[in-house]
Amino acid sequence: MAMTDERKAKLTLPADDQILVTRELDAPPHLVYRAWTTPELVARWWTAKRGVAKSMEIDLRVGGSWRYVMETFEGQEVAFHGVYREIVPDERLVTTEVYEGAPLPPEQLEANATLNTVTFAERGGRTLVTMLTECPSHEVREMIVASGMEDGLQDALDLLEGVAQELQG
Amino acid sequence: MPTTADAFNAVAEPRRREILDLLAVAERPVGDLVERTGMGQPQVSKHLRVLREVGAVRSRHQGRRRLYRLDPGALRPIFEWVSPYQRLWEERFEQLDDVLAEMKEEEGDGNDG
């Protein structure tokens, strides 16, 4: 089956303060939504193979907050939090997101929150996930895109190889 | 001086990707690209200008013709720049694939019973 392209997360930059990631998943939207909003399930995928989940708090109501904490295999604690702004079960979530380790004075952290809109669209029993991250500034966008650079070299080479193959297509 | 973001955006545009694909295989004049993409010459020239501005494409004169070719080295920083974040999400989605496969199975069992 020629699914390689569809199964790869696609990243585009629609505006200079935005990041758009799309990915198709082989499950209907109600399951994807559940995996996205249930702490025990989020704990199993959000860590991205980089560590273990320490705490996943989700207060799933408009105005409710969420906070995810993981510990990387290098022993570093990484935490994000935010507030739910819009909730349409099985379809759409809008939340704010703050990276607690951002190199910013504490009083500026909240002001630099991103606004994330995730939609789950049915595609013949599968789900197209679309994640739009709107940043407060171009600089914050650049910081997010470059994040994780320290372990990025091999990833970069892998990706480059994929791109090269695609270009040779 | 174009930024890496400019270069990424230039390369992300689908019609420009099409041109890059063609130039990855061979050095070509504009007319060849017009013929193979079905785009008008002004449109192809406009895309080529954007790609040259960010260094993704180079050109040289051969007699009266100008030939265009891909500069893969120039593309490298673009993909190094975006890859960590994309990779982070790719790894989350790979783990999510496993979680969803299990959930589907459980739901299937429920329906059977």
The reply to whether B39 falls in a domain is: yes
Is residue B58 assigned to a domain? yes
Partnered with residue A84 across adjacent β-strands are A95
Does some domain include residue B101? Answer: no
**Contact flag A147-B84 (C-beta cutoff 8 Å):** yes
pTM: 0.70
Please give the backbone phi and psi of residue B88, each rounded to the nearest 5 degrees, phi first: -55, -50
Instruction: Give the nearest partner residue to A27 out of B20, B94, B100, using CB atoms.
Output: B100
B96 touches chain A (CB under 8 A): yes
Query: What's the Cα-to-Cα distance from A86 to each of A46, A80, A119, B39, B109, rounded to whole Å?
Result: 21, 18, 11, 42, 33
Residue numbers in A near B25 (CB within 8 A): 168
Q: Which of A123, A119, A126, A118 is nearest to A28 (CA)?
A: A126
Using the beta-carbon criterion (under 8 Å), do B99 and A45 form an inter-chain contact?
yes
Nearest CA in chain B to A9: B90
Question: What local confidence, expressed as pLDDT, does residue A67 receive?
Answer: 98
* Residue B35, token pair as written in the block: 């013929």
Domain that holds residue B64: 4-73
Domains plus CATH for chain A?
A: 11-142 (3.30.530.20)
Domain of B68: which CATH number? 1.10.10.10
Q: Per residue of chain A (169 residues), what is the pLDDT tens digit? A: 334 455 678 888 888 899 999 999 999 999 999 999 999 999 999 998 888 999 999 999 999 999 999 998 888 898 999 999 999 999 999 999 998 887 778 788 888 899 999 999 999 999 999 999 999 988 888 878 876 534 434 444 444 445 444 544 4
Domain count, chain B: 1
Provide the shortest C-alpha distance from residue B19 to chain A (in Å): 10
